[in-house]
Amino acid sequence: MNNETMKLQLIQPWSVPVLKTNLPTNVLQEMIEITDSIIEDKDSTSFGGSLVGQIDTELVIEEHLLKMTGMKNFFLESIRQFVTICHCQRTGGHSHKEDWVSDIIQMWVVSQEPNEYNPLHTHGNCDISAVMYLKVPKILLSRKKDGSDGHIHFTGNVARDTALSSPGITFPPEVGDFYIFGAHQEHSVYPYRCEEGQKDVERRSVSFNAILRDNDINE
């Protein structure tokens, strides 16, 4: 038998991947503190009117808070890495152009409560979207087997070979998880339940939209 190591390459240029990573501990703590102050401030600006979520508390995170804490640089670097991965994928890794500049145009905190949910949707007027999880309560098990209460769901229409692929996938929320994806990627969030009388029931996430100012990756 030939013991030579095989080189494996997964080729998938026909879809935009969903990048899953984790927030560094200092970033996670800083974002919790930022969102704590926003939720506690009765004068915080609601962003809910611009969103499809059936959620009461969706509040704007002002840009100056990100700049003041250094968080904006972290998120812009995360966007750069994601777009570089996508560009290498669509060109077979033969080109590494990075002649573009990204900017975050909206960021908001979602303080979700039991029975609230986000229906299937995409994000308009931007190129990149993201979501990160800051707080996750103890969620009751789904009423039926293989339930996905409280999970985020990504779906698409390119999985024609269902023996080897799937048109949708769900992930349970975990504190510190950070997802970056194309703005036209369809996604939703399922509602959830907690024990009656449970004290901590908030499922807190932060989302943002970003644009590519000089989108040379489309050349």
pLDDT tens sequence across 60-96: 999 999 999 999 999 999 999 999 888 888 887 665 5
| DSSP three-state, residue 184 | coil
Are 101 and 212 in contact by the 8 Å Cβ rule? The answer is: yes
1 has a pLDDT exceeding 90: no
Residue 101 DSSP label: -
First-residue to last-residue Cα distance in the chain: 45
Q: What six digits make up the tokens of 183?
A: 């703005």
Domains of the chain, first to last: 19-214 (2.60.120.620)
Residue 217 has what pLDDT? 46
- Note the pTM of the prediction, 2 decimals: 0.91
Residue 4 has what pLDDT? 76
Rounded percentage of the chain residues whose pLDDT exceeds 90:
72
Residue 196 has what pLDDT? 95
Among 203, 175, 209, residue whose Cα is nearest residue 24: 175
